[in-house]
Structure 1
Amino acid sequence: MRVGLDELYPPRRLATARRAAAAAGLDALLLSPGSDLRYLTGYDAHPGERLTLLVLPTEAEPTLIVPSLERPAAEASPAPATGVRIVDHSDGTDPYPLVVAALGQPVGAVGLADRMWAEQVLALRAALPEATQRLATEVLSELRVRKSPPEVTALAEAGAAIDAVHRRMGEWLRPGRTEAQVATDIAAAIRATGHARVDFVIVAAGPNGASPHHGTSDRPIGVGEPVVVDIGGTMPSGYRSDCTRTYVAGGRASAEFLDHYAVLHAAQRAGVAAVRPGVRAETVDATTRSVIAAAGLGDAFLHRTGHGIGLDGHEEPYVVAGNSRALEPGMAFSIEPGIYLAGRHGARIEDIVVCTTDGVRRLNTTSTELITL
């Protein structure tokens, strides 16, 4: 059953964020369109040159400043139910005095959305010359890193939707078709399974599979070639999917590739099995990496083991060497080791998992065995 937006975006998040901002020494959070704004209000705001800004003071009511022409969208979103006051500004007027008014009093430090446009950062600096600017992620990352049960449900819905696309791969992926042709079919299927937006489609055949972020090309897929398919999108809830499987098109792969895939499969399974509360993120990375290194392929594993996922496709926690953070229940992230040999082939297996109170739950449930189509 699909989780409701009122469960995903509860009003208490604003109060929690205000307390956390105050504890961090901030007088307010100033959030432009993006995942932080959506996390707190449910409003999937359009980013543009017209100012949209959530003003969340620690000592005054929250205000959502929007362009007049976007006020209907803001009012139709979950934002009003969270208790924010909506104020609009017309084209040709300066919206920054509205920010000063919404703050209610002089401020000494504000937290800005991490991906706020530079022109807005500078305009806020001019409007609030006495305020120190810091990153809102200092506060919000800690709130977002542990997913609530409704958020896990939303991520599971996203995982099931992208799994349904992978199950149909035999309809599109065959020798003679180009990577781009297959990707076009996949993108249509991502939308058809309930995603609101296609975020990325990687179809990387043969030697192109050795580039982790290849994308697609007009190169035809060869008989027996390995094909890395990494796909993801955003659901109407705002939560993301991301899943990679490796296929063999229309024939038998080389013995060398089959050996490499067996190593990769063992590494990915070991990484998933290592997830439990209290285990450090870097330990999970080391677990997958050690399996690949033991096979003499350590240099072919080019990236971290995983990244967090939620309203952003990449967010905390990052499963990477040097991240000593202990995993906690509710943390959601990918386990996606890869083996990439330039000019030859590549392979990756990716599942989204959630750390539970006693272990791990895979949100992608399709087989991780090598699939021959």
Structure 2
Amino acid sequence: MSALPFPASVYAARLARAGELASAAGLDAVIVGPGPDLRYLLGVEGDTIERLTALVLVPGADAVIVVPRMELAKVRDIAAGELGVRIADWVDGEDPYALVLQALPSAATRVAVSDALPALHVIPIGERTGVRLELATPVLREARMVKDTAEATELARAGAAIDAVHRRVPEWLRAGRTEREVAADIAAAIVEEGHETVEFVIVGSGPNGADPHHEVSDRVIQDGDVVVVDIGGAVPSGYNSDSTRTYAVGSPTDEQAERIAVLVRAQQAAVDAVRPGVTASEVDAAARTVLSDAGLGDAFLHRTGHGIGVSVHEEPYIAPGNDLPLHEGMAFSIEPGIYFPGEWGARIEDIVVVTADGCRRLNVAPHELRSVG
């Protein structure tokens, strides 16, 4: 039975598409190191270590993967058996960069590397090829941004699983417990509800909620705290969830309730703005305008969203100045937030997938401020 999350034909099509995009960009080759790009193209992550693993894509030619023989078992059946990717394996004491050069066209002048390939390998490859390497990000981004039906299905699976966790948060979130204790319960539930890995757990209570990237601490949650809970993980196929809800331990103040109600409206305005042809910056502006009109514009410290797939954060980025038009199949978060340093913060986040005439929201757990404890 195949170890691939999707049928081999899906990965064959992805490899072909990446080759077409590389050719259209005028590239002679693309070198992909371990990480999300390799997982997208081959269904395996690979290991970023001192030993070189690299997939070499040359438009119009068979792909080659250079891999240490000690790592060969991870890719042999998938690459050679199902996708027809040629394997060039090596052992310690041999020169893996010579294998990369052998896979490149002899007259190559434009070679791009994935952004996850370590400098430890990028510099020797550049020195040996004699060409100025460039980033393959534009090519690989174009391939990954638009999700196919199978990818959208996996993102929906991940979204439903993280919604199930949010519905259970009131079991653990109460005064007298630390953020770390609550986070441990949430992490266990992320796996229980169908994820293979826990990618992150943020429990930001009271003033810690005013830090958008706070994770957890030993702060004891108090009655009256507003608490940001931002959580996500990867389901077995490698596709990720990411959803944020804001809770009140006990009763919020009238000001807190009013401001969070505005935030919920801002998030909905951005969701309503999503459709093919609209730019990423226009979606961002939809949320930002609602907050600004309510006098909360300065409290919104970050972009409205980010793409999601085999990475938690990938393109497209829903941010000011990004004039990228949206296309059917793009998947990204909508997550405006408001932050009041030293006091409290709030954020509401869903993943959406662009449809022919709007978008499909993958997270449906209640958005309104929920009192717990």
Match of 2:47 in 1: 46
Query: Quick check: 1:240–1:309 contact (8 Å CA) kept in 2?
Result: yes
* C-alpha distance in 2 between matches for 1:316 and 1:279: 16
How far apart, in 2, do the equivalents of 1:205 and 1:65 lie?
Answer: 47
What's the CA shift string for 1:41-85, capped at 9, x where partnerless? 111212111111001112432111111111111125467422211
In structure 2, relative to structure 1, the CA distance for the partners of 1:162 and 1:78 (3 Å cut) is: farther
> Any idea what SS the aligned residue of 2:277 has?
coil
**Cα displacement string for residues 94-134 of structure 1 (whole angstroms, at most 9, x for unaligned residues):** 211111122253311111011211110111012211x2311
Distance 1:300 1:234 in 2: 31
Structure 1: unaligned runs, 5 residues or longer: none
Identify which range, 55-64 or 259-268, moves more after superposition.
55-64
Cα distance in structure 1, aligned partners of 2:201 and 2:81: 35
| Matching residue of 1:111 | 112
Structure-1 separation of matches of 2:283 and 2:125: 41
**How far does the alpha carbon of each residue in 1:273-301 deviate from its partner, in whole angstroms, 9 at most, with x for none?**
11111111111111101111111111000
Tell me the equivalent position of 2:304: 305
CA distance in 2, matches of 1:322, 1:277: 18
* Aligned match of 2:98: 97
- In structure 2, the partner of 1:158 is 158
Confirm whether residue 201 of structure 1 aligns to residue 201 of structure 2: yes
Residue in structure 2 matched with residue 370 of structure 1 by the alignment: 369
Aligned to 1:269: 268
Cα pair 2:199 2:232 within 8 Å, conserved? yes
1:7 Cα offset (Å): 6.8
Task: Return the alpha-carbon distance in structure 1 between the equivalents of residues 80 and 353 of structure 2.
Answer: 28
Q: Distance in 1 between matches of 2:91 and 2:285?
A: 54
Q: Which residue of 2 aligns with 1:278?
A: 277
CA distance in 2: counterparts of 1:80 and 1:349, whole angstroms: 45
SS at match of 1:10: helix
| 1:232 correspondence with 2:250 | no
Distance 2:47 2:101 in 1: 22
Q: Post-superposition shift, 1:9?
A: 3.8
* 2:129 is the counterpart of 1:141: no
**Percent pairwise identity:** 54
Are residues 333 and 29 of structure 1, via their aligned partners in 2, closer, same or farther at CA, if it must alter by over 3 Å?
Answer: same
Q: Quick one: distance in 2 between partners of 1:258 and 1:7?
A: 50
State the SS of the aligned residue for 2:292: helix
Q: Separation in 2 of the partners of 1:272 and 1:202? A: 23
Q: Once superposed, what is the RMSD of the aligned Cα atoms?
A: 1.6
Matched, 1:12 2:28: no
Moved more, 13-22 or 264-273: 13-22
Assess if the C-alpha contact under 8 Å between 2:79 and 2:86 holds in 1. no
Q: Distance between the aligned counterparts of 1:82 and 1:155, measured in 2?
A: 24
Aligned to 1:347: 346
Deviation at 1:240, TM superposition (A): 1.1
> Contact 2:8/2:82 (CA < 8 Å) preserved in 1?
no
Distance in structure 2 (CA, Å) of the matches to 1:337 and 1:78: 41
Q: Is 1:216 aligned to 2:212, yes or no? A: no
Deviations 1:304-360 (A, max 9, x none): 111111111111111111111211100111110101001111000000001100111
Contact 1:43/1:78 (<8 A) preserved: no
Deviates more, 1:159-168 or 1:100-109: 100-109
Go from structure 1 to structure 2 and tell me whether the alpha carbon gap of 1:8 and 1:171 turns closer, same or farther (over 3 Å shift): farther
Q: Which residue of 2 aligns with 1:87?
A: 88
Deviates more, 1:350-359 or 1:15-24: 15-24
Q: 1:295 matched to which residue of 2?
A: 294
Q: Which amino acid aligns with 1:106?
A: A
Q: AA paired with 2:13?
A: R
* Structure 2 residue matching 1:11: 3-state secondary structure: helix
Separation in structure 2 between the aligned mates of residue 352 and residue 7 of structure 1, nearest angstrom: 27
Distance 1:113 1:39, change over 3 A: same
Q: Deviations over 1:233-260 (max 9, x none)?
A: 12221211100000112x1011111111
Task: Name the CA distance, whole Å, in 2 between partners of 1:172 and 1:78.
Answer: 45
Structure 2 residue aligned with 1:256: 255
Structure 1 moving runs of 4+ over 3 Å? 76-80
SS in 2 for 1:329: coil
Question: Counterpart of 2:241 in structure 1: which amino acid?
Answer: S
* TM-score, length-scaled by structure 1: 0.95
Number of the residue aligned with 1:74: 75
Using a 3 Å threshold, how does the CA distance of structure 1 residues 329 and 319 change in structure 2: closer, same or farther?
Answer: same
Distance in 2, matches of 1:24 and 1:153, equals 30
The question of 1:179 aligning with 2:194 is answered no
Q: Which residue of 2 aligns with 1:58?
A: 59
Q: 1:108 to 1:322 in 2, by over 3 A?
A: same
Cα distance change of structure 1 residues 348 and 133 upon mapping to structure 2, 3 Å threshold: same
Paired AA for residue 256 in structure 1: E
**Helix, strand or coil at the partner of 1:244:** strand
